[in-house]
A and B are shown apart, each in its own frame.
Chain A
Amino acid sequence: MTKLSQWKSILKLSFLFFFYTFTAIVRQARYGIQFFILPALGLTTFMAVYAVVRMFDGNAEAIFYPFLVFNVISYPLGGAMQLAYFTLLDSSEASAFLASPIGVNALFAELLGDSWATMMGNFIAIVAAAGITHPQFHGLNTIYGLLLLFMLLVPGVKLGVAIGMKFVFANQLSQFIMAAFFLFLILPSGNPLAWVGLPFSAALDLLSGKAALPAMLYGFAGTILWWAMAEFVFRWSYNQYRLGKGVDRI
């Protein structure tokens, strides 16, 4: 479904969405403090979680990477699921997107763009959080790890759109995922279950500078698996939607 030729349109649309949304925030900021709201929200969330972890004698640094992964993966997945669900619930609005030359990918592009825009604030929060926790950065590994997380953002959004398109409980599920994902990530890293989300764990290892080569390979393999799975579910969901088995079923 997602042909190579369509990626150009998807990325362009996603960028335009991000750029215009950011421009709109700046435009509003001329009249108030809205410009600071997104980063402030991200930072507040981080500080709240940080405080709770410290309260229970947790490792302050340990919270940083789960928070980063949560922002980069769980939000796009859960957020896209919720947004896709509400967009597709209104068949008029859905039709405006779906009746485009890239079809259902128009919705995917829009939600990908939306994720970029929302995460902008969170990224600023992450940078601020990095300063607080003083994590050790490991040059290339860190860049590769971040790249991996970005690569995971695409199947995350795609999977979110697919679930939002098909399941009537997508809205509730997205909230559950966003909460559960975070709890899962702050499990002790020695827990074998952590490897269920192979690319995530690999990204964590890379970011913390552990065994670079195996982690890179795991990460790469895991990312490909996530892309393949997201593509499969996306196609299946869209086909179900076209048959009349989507969220807007009468």
Chain B
Amino acid sequence: MSFAIHAEHLRKTYPTKPPVEALTDFNLSIESGGALGLLGPNGAGKTTFIRILLGIILPTEGSITVMGVNPSTHPHQVARNVRFVPETPYLNPRWTLWENARYWFTLWDEPWNRESVANVFEQFDLLNRAKEPVKRYSRGMQQRAGLALAFGSAAKIMVLDEPTLGLDVLGVQEVLSVLNIFKTKGKTILFASHDMRFVEELADHIALIANGRVLEVSSATNFRQKHGRERLKLRYRLPDNAQEFTEEIPIPPGVSSEEIITQKVRSIFERGGILLELKKELPSLESVVTSFLRTAR
């Protein structure tokens, strides 16, 4: 299997007084062409890991390769294959988007092809305003602009830090649909986000990180099934009251859901009530991740 990013037993201790251990035996592999979401509380080690894989800081111990190249010893070579989009994309506000693009492409040492960049601007719905200074853009547009520059480049790996920060619901959907297109074009996407719906729709896998370690890597669905307790959702109406009632009942481990359903439905019918809706569902990714990380802490 070919890994785009492969980290083994990474440890990073910041030489402060007292020293801070940001990563402890950190292991993570990301397949080429996939999307992996890093989830974890602030201070979990996500940024430190990203900075090590970009070759900006050195690990204290362990090894890491990005497309087979060690970023600690060959950061410039790694930089040709990786684009990083910080949570607030760094764009010169006084320059137009075209000027910013020209500057960043020069910085990335990539050939300038105005037509292909225009295509990407079009995909991110920016082309009609690309001649305006970036400072006139809304927060969401600036975010899209940062992403457009990175995805317009030829690099194979995209590292995104909070790509939906400041975007409204529609903006998130627009970014999501474009990123999914680029995912199918073979780009590998590694991103950190606190927007669980975005994570669920983009990530093939999620990596749960806490205290400088990767606790688990799996698909969002598998993670929910494994750690989320199923619950019954009932909506019913009682005869003496026109009001609707909604109840969510967690199914305890080892107890069959049919048993609880029978018991509950019988109780509603005995009171002359009408059952409007009954469904069994998994809790949201957000609540599973929250309870998982709380336990891990």
Contacts and interface: CB of A to CB of B under 8 A. Distances in A.
Nearest to A93: B90
Contacts of B226: none
Interface residues of B, number: 40
A99 B57 contact: no
Contacts of A103: 55, 75-76, 79
Contacts of B51: 91, 95
B79 A101 contact: yes
B14 A102 contact: no
Contacts of A242: 56-58
Interface string A229-250: 0000000000001111100011
B73 to A, nearest CB: 11
B58 A9 contact: no
A24 B79 contact: no
Contacts, number: 101
Contact of B47 (A17, A91, A249): A91
B94 interface: yes
Interface residues of A, number: 33
A101 B109 contact: yes
Contacts of B95: 20-21, 23-24
Contacts of A243: 15, 57-58
Given A13-B106, A95-B84, A20 B12 contact: no
A96 B20 contact: no
Given A24-B94, A103-B76, A98 B107 contact: no
Interface in B169-213: none
Contacts of A23: 95, 99
Interface in B74-106: 75-77, 79-80, 82, 84-90, 92, 94-95, 99, 102-103, 106
B14 A94 contact: no
B86 A95 contact: yes
A244 B108 CA distance: 24
A24 B108 contact: no
Interface of B: 12-16, 20, 22, 47, 50-51, 54-58, 75-77, 79-80, 82, 84-90, 92, 94-95, 99, 102-103, 106-109, 133, 161
Given A16-B103, A20-B95, A20-B103, 15 more contacts: A9-B109, A13-B107, A16-B106, A20-B102, A94-B56, A95-B86, A96-B86, A96-B90, A101-B76, A102-B107, A103-B55, A244-B16, A244-B58, A249-B14, A249-B16
Interface of A: 9, 12-13, 16-17, 20-21, 23-24, 27-28, 91-103, 106, 109, 241-245, 249-250
